């Protein structure tokens, strides 16, 4: 359209000049055609104006399309930049999350190892204390123990003796243990009462060693109806 408009403008300009000159010549010669020539000249001028309008409209349209295309290109470029930035940000966040995850796992692992080590040390310490406690445990002379068991409550003791009676039930073992040995064997009159949380493979007449804490006295009624009181020990080990 712009080329067509330019051609029309050129032809209009050519016609305008030509008819204008011819009109002037006719006016000088006074041959009566001057008016007609001037009319054609005005028509040529109208063609020039129309061509100018067409060229202008086409130019505006081209400019608008160019501007629109440029804006579209800029918008696409901005979009690409934005997408690239978003992708980079997402990658950075993912990397940061992975680093934090690795740190958290390392921290949890270190904490678990530390707790396991502390537990092992505590267990070892408890075992050592138990062994030391057993190594230092001594029996209380029976006459003193029998006289006032409550006086010795809480003391950790060791006794070797023969089982006179053993009873088990509900994961609990109760033993009457003879702890004094003389020339005739184990004296069944010198008894202590032993309670153990658990079951054993021992039976009557077995000789065992017990370790435990004195908890006072134990009272019961014999088959003959006698009230009997024995020193009592809560054992943690029977061997």
Question: Domains in the chain, please, with CATH?
Answer: 1-136 (no CATH), 142-238 (2.40.50.140)
Residue 181 contacts residue 212 (beta carbons within 8 Å): no
pLDDT average, residue stretch 171-198: 95
**Residue-level pLDDT at 238:** 96
Using 50, 70 and 90 to split pLDDT, how confident is the model at 129? confident
Calculate the average pLDDT of the chain: 86
Q: What residues contact 116, with CB distance under 8 A and at least 6 apart?
A: none
**Residue-level pLDDT at 93:** 93
Residue 14 pLDDT exceeds 90: no
Residue 201 pLDDT exceeds 70: yes
The tens digit of pLDDT for each residue in 23-60 reads 677 767 766 676 776 677 778 777 778 767 766 666 65
Bridge partner list, 234: 195, 213
**Residue-level pLDDT at 43:** 80
The tens digit of pLDDT for each residue in 210-239 reads 999 999 999 988 788 889 999 999 999 999
pLDDT average, residue stretch 172-186: 95
Give the predicted TM-score (pTM) of the model.
0.55
Q: Report the range of poorest mean pLDDT among 76-80, 169-173, 196-200, 232-236.
A: 76-80
**Residue-level pLDDT at 11:** 74
**Residue-level pLDDT at 28:** 72
């Amino acid at each position: 359209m712009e080329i067509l408009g330019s051609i029309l403008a050129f032809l209009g300009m050519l016609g305008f000049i030509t008819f204008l000159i011819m009109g002037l010549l006719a006016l000088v010669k006074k041959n009566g055609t001057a008016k007609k020539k001037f009319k054609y000249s005005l028509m040529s001028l109208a063609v020039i104006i129309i061509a100018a309008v067409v060229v202008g409209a086409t130019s505006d349209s081209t400019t608008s399309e160019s501007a629109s295309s440029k804006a579209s290109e800029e918008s696409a470029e901005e979009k690409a930049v934005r997408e690239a930035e978003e992708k980079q940000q997402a990658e950075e966040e993912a990397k940061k999350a992975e680093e934090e995850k690795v740190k958290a796992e390392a921290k949890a692992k270190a904490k678990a190892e530390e707790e396991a080590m502390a537990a092992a040390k505590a267990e070892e310490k408890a075992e050592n204390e138990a062994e030391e406690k057993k190594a230092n445990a001594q029996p209380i002379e029976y006459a003193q123990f029998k006289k006032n068991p409550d006086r010795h409550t809480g003391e950790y003791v060791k006794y070797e003796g023969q089982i006179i009676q053993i009873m088990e039930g509900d994961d609990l073992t109760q033993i009457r243990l003879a702890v004094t040995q003389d020339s005739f064997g184990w004296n069944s009159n010198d008894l202590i009462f032993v309670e153990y949380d658990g079951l054993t493979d021992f039976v009557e007449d077995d000789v065992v060693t017990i370790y435990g804490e004195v908890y006072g006295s134990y009272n019961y009624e014999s088959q003959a109806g006698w009230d009997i009181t024995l020193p009592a020990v809560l054992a943690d080990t029977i061997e």
